[in-house]
Amino acid sequence: MLKQFGIEMKWGIIFSVMTLIWITMEKAVGLHDQYIDKQMIYTNLIAIPALILYFLALLEKKKKFYHDQMDFKEGLKAGLVITLVIAILSPLVRYIAFTYVSPMYLTNMVSYFVEKKIMTQEQALFQFSLNNTIKEAAYNSLVMGVIAAAIVVAFIRSKNKNITNEK
């Protein structure tokens, strides 16, 4: 199994480390406190390195495992395995991020949403609880991972893999 899915496991771990680095950078530039009002905008930029990592991962799978001949189904399967690894690791990533890297982030989000009257105290405490944040991260990584994998595979798949030249 490690031989068949080793590439996907490696890239799922790399993606998880990248996510921790991203969260650390958000904290460092003040998006978890001073500029928390802008965090929900800038956090979406993680899609750029995320797509790059999916591209590099699936390209490696195509070259090393499928010898440059990977169809859409094979690529999507590899992308789904990467996504599954990311989803499995996401609770640990969020726990580390919001317990050690940025322990005040969730509290700051509660305060911001209540002060701006976007949510009641009760709603904000639920929304920005560590437990809910972990669940949302796992779910979102599954949804976004499937979408990212499908987009990337559409571009890097071998378009003529199953075509044979019969003359």
What are the structure tokens assigned to 9, written together? 């496991």
How large is the average pLDDT for residues 11-33? 98
pTM: 0.91
Residue 165 lies in a domain: no
- What proportion of the chain, given as a percentage, has pLDDT over 90? 92
Domain region containing 62: 2-156
Give the pLDDT confidence score for residue 162 in this predicted structure. 55
Residue 162 lies in a domain: no
Residue 77 lies in a domain: yes
Query: Using an 8 Å Cβ cutoff, are 84 and 93 in contact?
Result: no
Query: Which pLDDT band, with edges at 50, 70 and 90, does 167 fall under?
Result: very low
Q: What digits encode the pLDDT tens for the residues 100-120?
A: 999 999 999 999 999 999 999
| Distance in angstroms (rounded) separating the CA atoms of residues 136 and 156 | 30
Give the pLDDT confidence score for residue 47 in this predicted structure. 96
Residue 62 lies in a domain: yes
Give the pLDDT confidence score for residue 70 in this predicted structure. 96
Residue 55 lies in a domain: yes
Residue 74 lies in a domain: yes
Is the per-residue pLDDT at 98 higher than 70? yes
How large is the average pLDDT for residues 38-49? 97
- Given the structure tokens 């950078």, which residue do they identify? 25
Residue 164 lies in a domain: no
**CB neighbours of residue 165 within 10 Å:** 5
Q: Half-sphere exposure of residue 61, counting CA atoms within 13 Å on the CB side?
A: 35
Query: Using an 8 Å Cβ cutoff, are 133 and 67 in contact?
Result: no
Residue 102 lies in a domain: yes
Quote the number of domains for the chain.
1
